[in-house]
Amino acid sequence: MTETETRNHRAGTQQNGVAAAEASTVDDAFDDTYTEKEGPRPPMRLVWRNIIAMSLLHLGALYGITLVPSAHALTLLWSVVCYLISALGVTAGVHRLWSHRSYKASLPLRIFLALGNSMAFENDIYEWSRDHRSHHKYSETNADPHNAKRGFFFSHVGWLLVRKHPDVIEKGQKLDVSDLRADAVVMFQRRHYKLSVVLMCFVVPSVVPLLWGEALAVGYFVPGLLRYAVVLNATWLVNSAAHMWGYRPYDKSIYPRENMLVALGAAGEGFHNYHHTFPFDYSTSEYGWRLNITTAFIDLMCLLGLASDRKKVSKETLLARVQRTGDSSARSG
């Protein structure tokens, strides 16, 4: 089956609520016809507001580390809970649900994921999803918001500290995001984004520990800033480390790699060679729950009737792809 045939073939069989899928239903498939414009890259314009905010956040997170030994055990547990809610708001929410539409979620689950997404404070769902579709469609070009060809620092955090490359804006505006516009939860979160971030990312994590007599400062710096900085860096490692280090068992011609350390820190998002090869697969990996708490969460939500229509690449397509384009490191089959 040729590449074009693979992308255009959307039929699938249904098994245990998991449908075999062969292609994306959203505008996230790699566009191999796109070529970058010739000529020098336009000069980088620093965004000082973001540089100062990120510096202060990381200083605050470092101070938070010094408070960990004196924190109440329940505060530490609460920090882990906040980490999980915000991580799922990114992985199960804006990534696998809204960017890739790899499964369907009921209204209560979408509201929970949107709240988690505001707790993660990584741009609103609409903008994150649009940027992420550009990342898949134009990977490692000037139209990729965090082009890994520009180095570790740029793809990790640098891209947030400078103005977007004009090609990111130009191509982003042409992407089909009609499904995001039609989702009331996405547009509500976008309209009330600032308030939702203040409440979910800062106020709620900081004040809940007051219930067991924790000092407000510890709540602010540990489940607040330290947890926020850890979630940010775990997400960024998917764009930096998982585009640089690891095997490429599914497609050796692309940058993204299988990176187990990133999978561990980013709730299952480190199987990145698989994910860029099959962006429509709800599990982002062929190995189910292994190092993949997000897949376990989505499966649980399906069991509870809150999610449905998980898309999974078929075994035949997977094996054929491994044979055709993999780097021979695959253990599948």
- Closest separation between CB of residue 238 and Zn ion, Å? 6
C-alpha distances out from residue 262 to 197, 202, 241, 242, 267, Å: 25, 25, 7, 7, 8
Closer to Zn ion at the Cβ: 172 or 256?
Answer: 256
At its nearest, how many Å lie between Zn ion and the CB of residue 210? 38
Give least dist CB 72 to Zn ion, A: 37
Does residue 89 sit in helix, strand or coil?
A: helix
In the complex with Zn ion, the residue whose CB is nearer, 103 or 221, is: 103
Q: Which is nearer to Zn ion, 227 or 243 (CB)?
A: 243
Residue 215 CB, nearest approach to Zn ion (Å): 39
User: Do 22 and 279 contact (CB within 8 A), yes or no?
Assistant: no
Select 257 or 321, whichever has its Cβ closest to Zn ion: 257
Binding interface with Zn ion (CB under 5 A): 256
| Contact (Cβ atoms closer than 8 angstroms) between residue 138 and residue 318 | no
> In sequence order, which ranges of the chain are alpha helices (DSSP H)?
3-8, 48-67, 73-88, 107-120, 125-137, 152-156, 166-174, 178-181, 184-191, 193-197, 204-207, 216-219, 227-239, 260-265, 272-277, 293-303, 315-325
Beta-bridge mates of residue 60: none
Nearer to Zn ion, 124 or 131 (CB): 131
Q: Which residue is nearest to Zn ion (CB)?
A: 256
Find the shortest distance in angstroms from Cβ 95 to Zn ion: 6
User: CA 65, CA 63: separation in Å to the nearest integer?
Assistant: 5
Lateral strand order in the sheet of 14-15: 14-15, 18-21, 310-313
Minimum Å distance from CB 225 to Zn ion? 26
Least CB distance from residue 49 to Zn ion, whole Å? 26
First and final CA of the chain: distance in angstroms? 19
Nearer to Zn ion, 224 or 256 (CB): 256
How many CB atoms are closer than 10 A to CB 329?
Answer: 15
Cβ contact 296:307 at 8 Å: no
Residue 250 zone, left/alpha/beta (φ > 0; ψ -120 to 50; rest) = alpha
Q: 145 vs 256, which CB is nearer to Zn ion? A: 256
